[in-house]
Amino acid sequence: MEPRRTSRTVSDPKVRQVGFFTSQHHHHHHHHLPERSFSEPPLPDPFHTSTSTSSAPVTDVSPSGNLLSPVMILPSRHHSDNLHRLSHRATSPTASFSYFARAVVVRENDDSLLSPGRRGIAVKSPSSVVAASSFPKEKAGGASVEVQNDRPAKSKPLKQKTSKAERRATQEAQRAAKAAAKAFFNLLLKLAVDLYSLAEGSKTSAAVPGPVNSANTKTAKSPKSPSQKNDAVSVAAAEKKAGDRQLEKDRKKDVPHPRMQYDDQSRVEKAKRRAVVKQTEARNRVELFRHLPQYEHGTQLPDLESKFFQLDPMHPAVYKVGLQYLSGDICGGNARCIAMLQAFQETIRSYSTPPEKSLVRDLTAKISSYVSFLNECRPLSISMGNAIRFLKSTIAKLPLSMSESEAKATLQADIDRFINEKIILADNVIVKHAVTKIRDGDVLLTYGASSAVEMVLLHAHELGKQFRVVVVDSRPKLEGQLLLRRLVGRGLGCTYTHINAVSYIMHEVTRVFLGASSILSNGTVYSRVGTACVAMAAHAFGVPVLVCCEAYKFHERVQLDSICFNELGDPDAISKVHGREEINYLDGSTNSENLQLLNLTYDATPSDYVSIVITDYGMVPPTSVPVIVREYRKEHLWI
Amino acid sequence: MWWRSPSFILDRQQQNDTASRNPESISLSSPPPSMADTLQNPNPNTSTSAYYQTRAVVTSDWLAQAQAAVGRHPDDDLPVNDERTKSAAGDAGKPFSVIDEFNSWRKQPDLAEAVAAIRALAAVIRASQATTMMELEIELKKASDSLKSWDTTSISLTAGCDLFIRYVTRTSALEYEDFNSAKSRLIERAEKFGEISCKARRIIAMLSQDFIFDGCTILVHGFSRVVLEVLKTAAQNKKLFRVFCTEGRPDGTGLRLSTELAKLDVPVKLLIDSAVAYSMDEVDMVFVGADGVVESGGIINMMGTYQVALVAHTMNKPVYVAAESYKFARLYPLDQKDMAPALRPIDFGVPIPSKVEVETSNLDYTPPQYLTLLFTDLGVLTPSVVSDELIQLYL
């Protein structure tokens, strides 16, 4: 027991890294404090410590190390608690059934709150995977009775870890319960309840599930052994891991966060509770894309607007940008990224460190909350993720000795530099490179509206190159029209067509210029939906495909399809055509159970269909994107 | 698998012949006396970037192997030293000119143009009267520009000059030294670069030996000194193989290669350029050189390489490219016309009516997807690594 405890505290930081945990405890603590203080007065100190330190993701060796194993999470307690609790129990010995029932409900609630966090751990640390995988089974019970039955079983092994006396007590209680069940199940039910709850009360805080336990002793017993085993496994793993923990931790920083899976009910519920933006989820979602968020369009905006003055933690600049994302006023990777960075700049300008807090930590936390707000408004693009990563690392690297005003000025200047170097100057370099690939007499095809491609075309025109542009567009956004207007306004010869005609128009095209939302490590171009179609058509016709993309949009992730990660747009946008009542055949049937509308926003173009990537580091083949990511990282560290 | 090769029987006969030749080839493989001093001092310059440091170490390693294996090569260093003293003596009389220097280097038949340019540029540094780093850099830039303009169509010349400047002047450590020691360091580095470039061919020949198996048939297109070196080394290693040479119109480069190979007693067959597809099923691998290796990993080479590669790719035969790393160019052609055209008059033997247009381009671009591997002095690379190397060097 002793070695296990130490090892657990050693692997503590692992747990602390999981974002869900800290807020979990917050939530728990605040909402259920009254009940708990009544039902389990000697609240195990880990909870206290974790709530007090939760804002700091530091690796302090705290009792909450017990949290490593998912099985151990709930009533982690200490020897010292026992006496205390016992005495407290004594003062309120008449644990009435009704009270327990109420308490059980509360506990159940707690558990559903905690489970996402636990699952988060399972994803993060391989050592606890086994344990966690057994966990959903228990939870999957769903129906309250089953859950209640499971409860004591789950807490029992935990209790066994506490002390010999306790273990003996538990065993006795179990034996008693079993005997009772064997004999007159129904008759002795009440007795068993009392017996169990008494035994329970004498040693633990959770005590809660006592009464229901006897309802079905068998179920109560069965999950015990697996959980014990899991415990052993996770402990062994923890001991083994203790050595390279630091290394693991560093590596984990690099690992992208597990993405929120929106088909995971409990996590969605949890996230919703914290959400600022209240969104109604769309009903008939396509099965394959259930893991992505999809909301009824237009439900959030009024709600958000009304909240404008209530939400004090959100800086107005961030709020404004969030609303603009939501309403679609700002779109396009670069525009969104710049808007976000400028909003952050604004917040930093008006930021002052609260007393007894450090700027580095507090500001990082603030930025994180802004980011999650923006993410609720519209899922962040990969480029924005990179920019946020840059900002956070800049904040983290501020020397502690720096004064607040200095730090703020540095940060603002750094953001400015990022916007300038990584976006504006990068675009200029891209234009310079791309223009060399345009010859007189070319027919250039572009899809959607990429700001980089637009700059390339305009610059080539300014240089006096003679070429023609084919703008290919698609419903529902029709972004190409905007590009078309600007190009025609500058005197370029343009052809406008919809993507339906791309195979027809392609044979006269000599170059295809595409923009990208992001380019991933395997060279996959992640871009506006339809890009893959255009690239494949071009490939079939032997037309070179040039992708213009700033290097800050590169990401080390690898993606093979457009399903795992994508953004779902408003399904109404594809089912309705505004101003054309006579062809809106779907009116009235959009709520049908049998109809599932899928409005994807992005798609993934395999690197085979991309001839060249034009980036601020020059013209490279798509296979060299990881090389640049690597080099860019290095540069990132220097900044 | 090799015993099913149609050429195997032929090679078996050959085996008996080579057995009688063995004694002389053994005597050839004894290392030359000068090997020792080239092997010393593998990495004297510790302030070079990590990139080239590792390369240099590996290179000298390979060099040792290559020399031990090849052994028989006339030592390049001796004429080098002669030239050096000669040019140094010439300096006293008339003002230094890169082009003259370049031309004097170019007289050596085995020396590639790019290497001659690199040697000439090294001489520029040596002869420079500059007193500041900036001045020297400008001088160097000017010299390389004039070299590049000497033959604008030669990709390896341009690439060699660029790489030299990049390699020699790259590093901030130079800024903290006084000018003279910085200059001597530049010279040192320039020498090293020239040396690596000189040895590149032998390293490539060494590396490619693993890929030539007994009984194989190799199709070669164009005349490339690297490919010749590869085949020569293979013959010296008593590998049994035969070579198909394309004719290489219009300048008959294939004819030249076939005569060279015949001298080595390698069985050679000449094909007209249009017989490539016809004989491809007999071929086990295709070997080509390169004028330039571009950033996509594709190559720019003599006209016809693209179609040879296409045919080989369709018939699932590997296409190997032998190219020195100084041919790596920061170019990215998207298609055949996306290059500065290198034109060459073609003699058709009969008068061509003036109304008939003649395609006179001399180079074509082979995209990377048709190439299997590149043998370079940096190692055996897949096409996508070329860009990796270039990015690391130029970023």
Q: What is the pLDDT of residues A391-414, one digit of tens each?
A: 998 898 888 888 888 999 999 999
Do B295 and A631 lie within an 8 Å CB cutoff? no
The count of other CB atoms within 10 Å of the CB of residue B310 is 16
Do A344 and A319 contact (CB within 8 A), yes or no?
Answer: no
pLDDT band at B12 (very low <50, low <70, confident <90, very high): low
Do A627 and B334 lie within an 8 Å CB cutoff? no
Closest residue in A to B296 (Cα) is A621
Give the highest mean pLDDT range of A12-26, A45-59, A383-397, B14-28.
Answer: A383-397
Nearest-CA distance B293 → chain A (Å): 13
- Chain A environment of B394 (Cβ under 8 Å): 618
pLDDT band at A278 (very low <50, low <70, confident <90, very high): low
Closest residue in A to B385 (Cα) is A624
pLDDT band at A211 (very low <50, low <70, confident <90, very high): very low
pLDDT band at A296 (very low <50, low <70, confident <90, very high): low
pLDDT digits (tens, 9 = 90+) for B51-73: 344 444 344 444 454 445 444 44
DSSP 8-class letter at A420: I
Q: In what order do the strands lie in the sheet with A618-620?
A: A493-498, A467-473, A442-447, A511-515, A545-548, A612-615, A618-620
Average pLDDT over residues B262-285: 94
The count of other CB atoms within 10 Å of the CB of residue A94 is 5
What are the angstrom distances between the C-alpha of A55 and each of A61, A355, A358, B151, B277? 15, 15, 11, 66, 70
- Assign 3-class secondary structure to A373-416: HHHHHCCCCHHHHHHHHHHHHHHHCCCCCCCHHHHHHHHHHHHH
Distance between CA atoms of residues A360 and A342, nearest Å:
19
Q: Which long-range contacts (CB under 8 A, 24 or more apart) does A145-148 make?
A: A145/A212, A145/A215, A146/A219, A147/A108, A147/A111, A148/A104, A148/A108, A148/A209, A148/A212, A148/A215
Element of type H or E holding A628: helix A625-638
pLDDT of residue A245: 55
Do A623 and B387 lie within an 8 Å CB cutoff? yes
- Chain A environment of B297 (Cβ under 8 Å): 621, 623
| Nearest in space to B300 (alpha carbons), one of B339, B274, B259 | B339
Count of CB pairs separated by less than 8 Å, A with B: 47
pLDDT band at A41 (very low <50, low <70, confident <90, very high): very low
Position with higher pLDDT, A460 vs B24: A460
List beta partners, residue B141.
none
Position with higher pLDDT, B81 vs A413: A413
pLDDT of residue A529: 92
Closest residue in B to A545 (Cα) is B334
Choice among A91-95, A292-296, A318-322, B210-214 with the minimum mean pLDDT: A91-95
10 Å CB burial of residue A517 (0-12, 13-18, 19+) is buried
pLDDT of residue A565: 84
Identity of the residue in A612, A620, A624 whose CB atom sits nearest the CB atom of B334: A612
Q: In what order do the strands lie in the sheet with B268-271?
A: B268-271, B241-246, B216-221, B285-288, B319-322, B373-376, B379-381
DSSP B19-72: HHHHHHHHHHTSPPTTHHHHHS-S---TTS-HHHHHHHHHHHHHHHHHHHHH--
Task: Mutation target for A interface from B388, B389, B393, B394: give the one with most A CBs within 10 A.
Answer: B388
pLDDT at B253 over 70: yes
pLDDT at A575 over 50: yes
Domain edges within chain B: 20-201, 203-394
- Chain B environment of A544 (Cβ under 8 Å): 334-335
pLDDT at A342 over 90: yes
pLDDT digits (tens, 9 = 90+) for A619-636: 999 999 998 888 777 665
pLDDT of residue A250: 53
Closest residue in A to B394 (Cα) is A617
Do A602 and A526 contact (CB within 8 A), yes or no?
Answer: yes
Nearest-CA distance B357 → chain A (Å): 21
pLDDT at B254 over 80: yes
B203-394 CATH: 3.40.50.10470
Position with higher pLDDT, B189 vs A478: A478
Distance between CA atoms of residues B350 and B371, nearest Å:
36
Position with higher pLDDT, A467 vs A15: A467
pLDDT at A504 over 90: yes
Q: Does A624 touch chain B (CB under 8 A)?
A: yes
pLDDT band at A522 (very low <50, low <70, confident <90, very high): very high
Do B266 and B237 contact (CB within 8 A), yes or no?
Answer: no
pLDDT of residue A173: 65
The two structure tokens encoding residue A255: 């690992």
pLDDT digits (tens, 9 = 90+) for B113-126: 788 888 888 888 88
pLDDT of residue B21: 47
Q: Does B295 touch chain A (CB under 8 A)?
A: yes
Average pLDDT over residues A207-221: 42
Percent of chain B with pLDDT over 90: 34
Do A617 and B395 lie within an 8 Å CB cutoff? yes
- How much is the ipTM here? 0.72
Output the average pLDDT for chain A.
69
pLDDT at B378 over 80: yes
Do B332 and A619 lie within an 8 Å CB cutoff? yes
Average pLDDT over residues A487-515: 94
Give the highest mean pLDDT range of A75-79, A606-610, B54-58.
Answer: A606-610
pLDDT of residue B180: 77
Selecting from 3.40.50, 1.10.260, 1.10.3470, 1.20.120, what CATH number does the domain B20-201 have? 1.20.120
Do B387 and A621 lie within an 8 Å CB cutoff? yes
pLDDT of residue B318: 96
What are the angstrom distances between the C-alpha of A635 and each of A162, A419, B388? 51, 15, 16
Residues 225..244 of A with a Cβ closer than 8 Å to B: which? none
Task: Mutation target for B interface from A437, A624, A628, A634: give the one with most B CBs within 10 A.
Answer: A624
